[in-house]
Amino acid sequence: MDARFNYLGNPAGAKLLKYVVSAGKVVSDSGLPVTTQEMVSLRVSQINGCAVCIDIHTKEAAHVGETSVRLNLVAAWREATVFTDAERAALELAEQGTRVAAAGGVTDEVWANAAKHYDEDQLAALVGLIAVMNAVNRLNIITRQPAAGDYQPGQWG
């Protein structure tokens, strides 16, 4: 599949990507655990069906030490016993934050549960991560960015 649009080949597209990446950098530099960041990124991408992001975040999670068992169970995290309460809170927030129309927004219970496990800076990073991943997924899907499979950990910095 060929991409419909080359972001880097267009001044406005390149500028857009620069700002999206810089927003993602704020999250990566936060106190939110990197494994949580990768699991949330993976789950959001699974929900949205963004193959290239699923490829990236599966490989990045493995690169930072995630096991294949936990990676394989992200899609079924509610039934899995391998996630901490904090990770479950983050994954639930990610799901409701991604499915805002279907879920009717994020419930007070889900927010309160996340707030039990993360401080305000981490919550800001978590909300930002969910928003940025949804944006990146949509950019990739709308413009049919190249399919998954070739990504190498660390490739995008």
| Residue 157 or 106, more confident | 106
CB 87 within 8 A of CB 1: no
Round to whole Å and give the CA distance between 157 and 155.
6
Please write the tens of the pLDDT for every residue from 33-59: 999 999 999 999 999 999 999 999 999
Which of 55, 49, 57, 24 minimizes the C-alpha distance to 141?
49
In total, the chain counts a number of residues equal to 157
Find the Cα–Cα–Cα–Cα dihedral 29, 39, 62, 146, rounded to 10°.
-90
pTM of the model: 0.92
Distance CA 94, CA 117 (A): 14
Measured between its terminal Cα atoms, the distance across the chain in Å is 25
- Asked if pLDDT for residue 152 goes beyond 80, the answer is no
pLDDT tens column, 59-90: 999 999 999 999 999 999 999 999 999 999 99
Give me 90's structure tokens. 């983050």
Give the separation between CA 104 and CA 13, rounded to whole angstroms: 32
pLDDT, tens digit (0-9, with 9 covering 90-100), for 118-132: 999 999 999 999 999
What confidence score (pLDDT) does residue 118 get?
98
* Domains, the chain, with CATH or none: 7-142 (1.20.1290.10)
Q: What amino acid is encoded at 135 in this protein?
A: A
What is the model's pLDDT at position 157?
63
pLDDT at 3: 79
